[in-house]
Structure 1
Amino acid sequence: MLAKPRLSRALASLAIGLALVVPAAAIEFLNALDDSPIDISPIKGEVFTDAVKSFQETGKNPYVGNPDAIAAGKALYDANCQVCHKPDGSGGMGPSLIDNTYVNKRANTDVGMFEVIHSGAAGAMRPFSKRGVTQDQILQMIAYIHTLKK
């Protein structure tokens, strides 16, 4: 005697339901120097904002185009980045940020730029996560850097 198809349909419905409920895997962030996975745990005292949580899941910076985040990003850029990349982002000691010709090719994306800023890169680019800069602040800086591009 053949089994009734009800159980199979129930399992199929359950599988489809789980597929709709279970979120997609988060983005894997890699070190710009050796492609090893980087630790994106919060630094001491950091509480992840909704923007950071969203970015870690999607790789899309929710602050791009947000005037308040861009203003905060400019202040952070002026305090942390302009010495090496110049106020206009044209580069000096560090590479230019105003075109898409980056030393690290992954920096052409927000995920890649986040990886470089968060965990450092070749030369004098030390990890901002070791300087006490939060991931939310890094996303704000990236939003500001977008405004420098020609």
Structure 2
Amino acid sequence: MDLNFKNGEELFQFLLLGVLVFFTIILLIVVLNIFMTLKAILNEKAGIKTEPFTLNSLWNKLNSFRPMSEEKDILLDHDYDGIKELDNHLPPWWLGMFYGGIVFGIVYLLNYHVWQWSPLQTEEYEIAMAEAAEMKSQMQSTSVSSIDENNVELLTDASDIDTGNLIYTANCAVCHGAAGEGGVGPNLTDEYWLHGGSASDIYKTIKYGITEKGMISWEGTLKPTDMQQITSFIKTLAGTNPANAKAPQGEIYVEEEAPAADETEAEESTSEELATL
């Protein structure tokens, strides 16, 4: 039985089940006590002597104990140094568990290995792994759909760049050239940009388009991950200087540099000092 409770609710349910089992046993004992008491009263009226019901008498019955006055009837002939043996039978509860275990084993064998109604441990593991993979896929699809121009990040994995290249070739090369040299659309390899050269700006341009200049919106055609991969691929074209490159258009975009580690630590320490004032 797995007792690794994942949260307080599971622990509470387990404790509640234990309390219910305990009170159920108490209730059964009370009902049995009432029944045996009524039986003793009826037997007494009929002239039959009956011992009163007690937990000790119940225990003796469950174990098939014989009173000492009857031991002479079950005494065997075995005698060793004055020690004699009684022919006591195994307790009924023990025999019940023994035969119950045999029945359980047969049912278990038929269920798991003959009729295969229930999965074995290996199959349960494979089912659990498949369910986990499905949950992971759903989580990834949810996180993917949340990508937009405000949180898009450049991808550096080679497979993402290659996929972005394929999508670019199929959809963007007709206007911007196979190598990004420009055509109907602007050159994507120089440092000049009409609508911003950051990852956020490029993603936003792809997503919403620039309709007045003939750039269509790809939001309804490409998935967020597709546009992210195209953006990442376009950023790799910087400085490639392809042949027949179109003349620069727009303004120079200077890539923002991440703050140095020393500067970041200094800013954090300054903020902490101000917070303590």
TM over 0.5: yes
Deviation per CA, 1:123-148, whole angstroms, max 9, x where unpaired? Answer: 11100013x21111000001111121
Task: Give the corresponding residue for 1:123.
Answer: 213
Q: Distance in 1 between matches of 2:154 and 2:143?
A: 9
Of Structure 1 and Structure 2, which has the larger fraction of its residues in helix? 2
Q: CA deviation at 1:103?
A: 1.6
Partner AA of 1:147 in structure 2: T
Deviation per CA, 1:68-99, whole angstroms, max 9, x where unpaired? Answer: 11011000000000010001101110001112
Q: Distance in 2 between matches of 1:101 and 1:72?
A: 25
Q: CA deviation at 1:52?
A: 5.7
Answer yes or no: is the 8 Å Cα contact 2:177–2:183 preserved in 1: yes
Task: Give the corresponding residue for 2:151.
Answer: 59
Task: Give the corresponding residue for 1:32.
Answer: none
Q: Which ranges of structure 2 fall in alignment gaps of 5 or more residues?
A: 1-139, 240-277
Q: Distance in 2 between matches of 1:70 and 1:146?
A: 10
Relative to structure 1, the CA distance from residue 56 to residue 81 in structure 2 (aligned partners, 3 Å threshold; closer, same or farther) is closer
Q: Does 1:99 align with 2:99?
A: no
Q: Give TM-score scaled by structure 2 length.
A: 0.33
Task: Give the corresponding residue for 1:75.
Answer: 166
Q: Distance in 2 between matches of 1:49 and 1:73?
A: 21
Matches within 5 A, 1:8-19: none
Q: Distance in 1 between matches of 2:150 and 2:208?
A: 19
Q: How many aligned residue pairs are there?
A: 99
Q: CA deviation at 1:51?
A: 5.3
Question: Greater relative contact order: 1 or 2 (C-alpha under 8 angstroms, separation 6 or more)?
Answer: 1
Partner AA of 1:59 in structure 2: N
Deviation per CA, 1:103-130, whole angstroms, max 9, x where unpaired? Answer: 21x2x11111111000001411100013
Answer yes or no: is the 8 Å Cα contact 1:51–1:61 preserved in 2: no
Relative to structure 1, the CA distance from residue 123 to residue 136 in structure 2 (aligned partners, 3 Å threshold; closer, same or farther) is same
Q: Distance in 2 between matches of 1:94 and 1:68?
A: 26
Q: Does 1:137 align with 2:226?
A: yes
Q: CA deviation at 1:58?
A: 6.1
Q: Distance in 2 between matches of 1:115 and 1:48?
A: 20
Identity of aligned residues (%): 25
Q: Distance in 2 between matches of 1:57 and 1:146?
A: 15
Answer yes or no: is the 8 Å Cα contact 1:73–1:142 preserved in 2: yes
Q: CA deviation at 1:59?
A: 3.0
Of Structure 1 and Structure 2, which has the larger fraction of its residues in strand? 2
Larger Cα Rg: Structure 1 or Structure 2? 2
